[in-house]
Structure 1
Amino acid sequence: MAEGDAGETSDNFDCVPCQMQDIPKNATNWCTTCEEGLCDNCNIHHKANKASRSHTTIAVGKLKSLDPFVSSLKTTCDVHNLPLELFCPNHEAPCCSSCAANSHATCLGITSFQKVTQEANNSNQIDDINAKLDDLLSQVDIMIKNRKDNKTKIIDQAGSHKSKMKELRKNINDHLDILENQLQSKSDNLITLETGAIENVVKRLKVKRHDIDNLKNNILNLKDVGSNAQKYIGGKKAELTIGEENKILASLADTSDMAEVSLEFTVDPMTEETIMKSIDVYMKKETGNSKSKEKVSSCQTIPDETTILQKIFDTSVFDRHATISSIVVLPWEEVIVSAYSRNSIVVFSPLGTMEQTIPLMHAPFGLAYIGCDEIAISVPKTEIILIFTTKSYTKRRQIEVNSQCWGIDFANDMLLVAIRYKGILFLDKIGSMIKRVSMSNSNLTYVHMFMDRYYRAEFTDSSVHCYSSTGKKIWCFSEADALGTRNMCSDSEGNLFVACQDSNRVILISKDGTSSKTVLETREPKAIWFDSKSSVLYVWSLNGDNLSTYRLT
């Protein structure tokens, strides 16, 4: 568009040659070279004039339909207000004569801009661009259709899944009915057996009471009618009988016949976690057919790292029903895994081969290396922490916690212990309490300590909480793509690795808790360990079917 000389209004353009003669007349044509409006008569003269014979003119109506796009395509220099007559092939840009002399003095191949535009026009450049734009429009239409089809698909799937959920609910209810009947039958049998045993003890005690009562009556009668000699002999005999009966009663009190019996109903705490893991609804995202893809880092405050697979361990010892809870890597790179479902810990060599399985009486959960060739093993059911030597993997001692102890960690010469409904205990190596942080969380399971901070992961609401050494909460982390947060470990800078079992990934949270990024995508990661010296991340899946190490570079 002409700058200041066209005299256009919001609706009409003036004919510039007529305007210069003080003849007001609306333009019907527009010269794209002169950037001026022309009436019909002036347009005829414009095309006949030798200087403007090669200029291109278009109807004003067409120009209005292109505005403001065309108005942004200036053919005059913004700096010198001179026409763009030259073209620099080095910069692939048009320029005026002043720019050519000042800014492009060292550029080779300066040529006429009109020649370049003519060649471009002859080469069907606009047609090629239009074809490319048609391709883009087609791609956009394909993507729109893809999204609409996907929307219809997930709505249909939702209806299908509702039917499946109802069927699943019916099957679960039927199973629970069977389970309830079985438990009720078992309960009735236990009650029958135990009440029968108690009644037998009561019968024996009643006989004993009857004998003692008879002895008492005889002694009272002896007092009234017996001679002195009979009273003496009878009294001595009664004392002997009393002594014997006391021994019999004392002995009976120490037997299982007099044990306090309770009928208890228990549910394995791992059942809740297993059910929550086994039944879920989520959006599964796969790479689509669209051509436009961008990858944007979700964490800008922690360094970018490349994850390289290093080693895959032999996991044939575990079946598909196994449940792994924790992992610890010893300074000499032996790897110990707590197999909760197998009531054992399993030791692997640095090469990844299985060395031995150590059976335990009950299911182990947490693991921690506490130095001096010792590891700590938490056993929730028995409410104890076992201390094993790593030389022979035998028990050295145990710490009585008197509450179900789940995740554990060791740092700063302190053993960190997660106690559901109560809080986090800080113990020394022999089990003496250093301090306790009260928490009423029913799912307090996974804890970790690094330097002067400690952390807990809440798998039910997929959150991670950071606390100072005094127990003050510093930050809480939660993200939609970090679900089912489990075990944690730290790098040397205090950034926190977290196994997100339900999102099938391991993430790294910045020290301040403000950002995160995915460092590894793998199926159901649960137990993790990071060796800061070698920058190696150990990752074990929930079912134990995959243990691998990855070097972060």
Structure 2
Amino acid sequence: MASASGSYCGVCEAQDVVKAAAFWCPECNEGICTSCEKHHRASRGTRKHEVTSMDDYKQIPPIIASINQYCPEHDKKYQLYCSQHEQLCCPLCITTNHKKCDLLAIDEIVKTSRNSALFEIMEQNLKEMKNNIDRIVEDRRQNLEIIKQQRQGFQTDIKEMRAKINIHLDKLEQEIQQDLQAAEQKVMSQINRFVQKVSDHEKTIDELQNNIAATKRFATDLQTFFGGKMFEAKIQEEEKFMTSLIEDSGLQQIHLQCKLDNKMSDILSMTKIGEISVTTKPSTISMTTDREKQAQKRIPTISKTINDINLTLLKQFEISKGENGIGITGCTIMPSGKIIFVDQSNDRLVIHNDNGLFVCAIPVSHRPIDVTCIDENTVAVTHNAEPYYIEIINIVNKKNCKPDRKIQSVLRHYK
């Protein structure tokens, strides 16, 4: 039995000899040393086995290397493939789970698998996806650069707005300071004039006081009597002046007031200058898969003349040969993309899928000449041998190869 890692020769291990494997045989599913490889290559039972070096074998992805040549349930070599269940089958599998299934010989379907169009399509799809990823990464990188530029631009706008606000507030402050000083100067001048006026009357009162005192002390009685009348008149004038000060509101308290604009309070109540939000726009990047390109190629623009038509090779593949070789006389393409060929040499229809892989072969009556699609499941086959007729065949019911019906024709059929 082969070692778990495949690093040792399975033949030698069976003889209790540990020897490093230099080759790997997928048919035997075990490693082989250099000595055993010579016998393996010369032995009749194994000479057709295709061995590979261990270095090459280790390059195979583990998931692919795990695909075995033998059925784990029946320990028989896989010989058939069930397209319905997409499973490999050994002879015993057919009698259990695949009695009614459509089975294909593995040797027929795998011989062109390495160079099949499927791998080319998968590789192209992966290449296109890689290109899409590169475009996506570049698009996101550019988006980050745009975001950075936007952030820098907004920061500049905020600073400029702040500077404009500062300049404007400085100007308003300077103006109100000037208004405040002007109001103070006006009030000071008014009060100073009033004080000066009162001070002048104070001097008059002082003079009256001195004159009365001197008169009482040094004047004659007549002078004192008549002077008293004069002093009384002067005092009444001063009393009127003092009364006028009260009546004229000259003694009211003067205050300066500064009422700030409510909008200034609004600024102080602001919790933020603005709001930052993130918005999205539809992506400008377009991704096209290889399948879409193929679909576009399948629907070419119709040229005005035949000279304007330029043919382009989309793919090429080998058609499965029959016992008598192959003789293609007609073909049709189904809505699903399947291609059906008329093989007159073997009296059969050969069906390939849209990737060029062989699906199955359906036997028909003698000397078919051409085929046309009726719907996804049905085709019409014309025959170029008497009696002339058209066969209507259901290609889905491949087990029953008898035509659904025959339409008799009196004319010879041509392509």
TM-score, L = length of structure 2: 0.44
Structure of larger gyration radius? 2
TM-score, structure 1 length as denominator?
A: 0.35
- Which one has the bigger helix percentage? 2
**Between Structure 1 and Structure 2, which shows a larger proportion of strand residues?**
1
